[in-house]
Amino acid sequence: MRHTRGNVTSGLKSLRTNVMNKTWQRLPSVLIVIVLASPAAVRAQDSVTEILRKPALTPTDRGTLEAEISQRVKRTFGGSTPVNVNEARDRLAKPAKEKDVSKEGLNVYSEIVAAELETPAASEDLNTSLTAVLILEDLECAPTVGALITATKNKHPAVRYAATRGIANLRTKIKDDESTCRKAFAALGEAGAKEKDEHVRRRIYQALNVKEAAADFKHMEPVAAALNAVLAARISELAGGSNDEYRDEEAVSAAVGCYVGCSARQQAALVGNLFSLLRHTVDHYFDAGTALEALPTIARLAQRFEKGLTEMMKAAKVSAPSRQVSDLLKAGADRQKAEKDARAALDDLRKTLRGEPWRLP
């Protein structure tokens, strides 16, 4: 019996030995890959982190970043499988969020990433372009503006929305850079004038409300020009029969915010555009096809447009007419009399705006 047990024990030991030998014979190739690949990946990551912490980068540092970022972008967007958003952010945005990243390190890194992502941001594939824009947003750095501008022309509303949001988030970081402001806001004006998606257009209006972001925002001229471009396109649509002026309510805060710092020409255009919105709202209110349930909402909107004009008149030290147009839009009133009074008040307002300093037609 002891002999049998000894044979069994010996057999089990022999079997374990053979299995282990065969297993170890297969492992070296795997281990070699791990040993060779992991240190390289770690070294690359450490190298990037070390460079980003430097207060000043050398041409060699920049070359290292360019080579590494290029490879990361290829690994992220160059495959046949769909892009994984979380992996992409970890690979391309996370290094810029590490502790002790210097200002120059962040700027150079963001500039290189933005240059690499400009093509993916323009992609017709939604997953690719949206992921690229989300990475640019995560960086929150001024050098990404150019790539975000490219994305405002993307065919997907979600990408255009995210790109506009990304630019809006940079307003405080570009506020003292006139050249970048001109590029960014000109792009928003061009995009907004063509935009058909309600949500994206609203986001553009919000992005143009620069006072919301920074009370000391200086470069109002490109902001006002962009806003006037969007409003001119919208007023043309409204004149063509649209009755969706409620989509332009966010434009009021943006217009009031940039009014004081822009040129007389842009100021006159802002006043004229808000007046056109108010007039269209009054037309909508008294249109025979307008449902009674909609009247309070339209009246409130008219009040918003008129209030914006009143604030601009106050800034120009011009007295507003004694009668407010929106006060005459009251549901349940004699509609014929109310319309006559409201249009008379609208005419009074126009006469005021035809005077100095705007001299509207």
The whole-chain average pLDDT of the chain stands at 90
Cβ neighbours for 127, distance < 8 A, ≥ 6 positions apart: 82, 83, 85
pTM, full prediction: 0.86
Res. 291: pLDDT tops 60: yes
Closest Cα to residue 111, out of 72, 164, 71, 147? 147
CA angle, 70 then 71 then 77, to 5°: 85
Closest Cα to residue 50, out of 110, 98, 107? 98
Express each pLDDT in 222-247 by its tens digit: 999 999 999 999 999 999 998 999 99
Per-residue tokens: 42:
């770690």
Phi then psi for residue 298, to 5 deg, are -65, -40
Express each pLDDT in 105-117 by its tens digit: 999 999 999 999 9
- The answer to whether 346 and 290 have CB atoms below 8 angstroms apart is no
DSSP 214: -
Express each pLDDT in 11-20 by its tens digit: 444 544 454 4
Q: DSSP for 121-148, please give it.
A: HT-SSHHHHHHHHHHHHHH--GGGHHHH
What are the C-alpha distances in Å from 24 to residues 13, 35, 159, 277, 330? 16, 16, 51, 79, 87
Q: Distance (Å, rounded) from C-alpha 296 to C-alpha 294? A: 6
The percent of residues in the chain predicted with pLDDT above 90, rounded, is: 83
3-state SS class at 154: coil
Q: Give residue 141's region: left, alpha or beta (phi > 0; psi -120 to 50).
A: beta
Q: Give residue 359's region: left, alpha or beta (phi > 0; psi -120 to 50).
A: left
- Where do we find the tokens 């949206």? 130
Express each pLDDT in 316-341 by its tens digit: 999 999 999 999 998 777 899 999 99
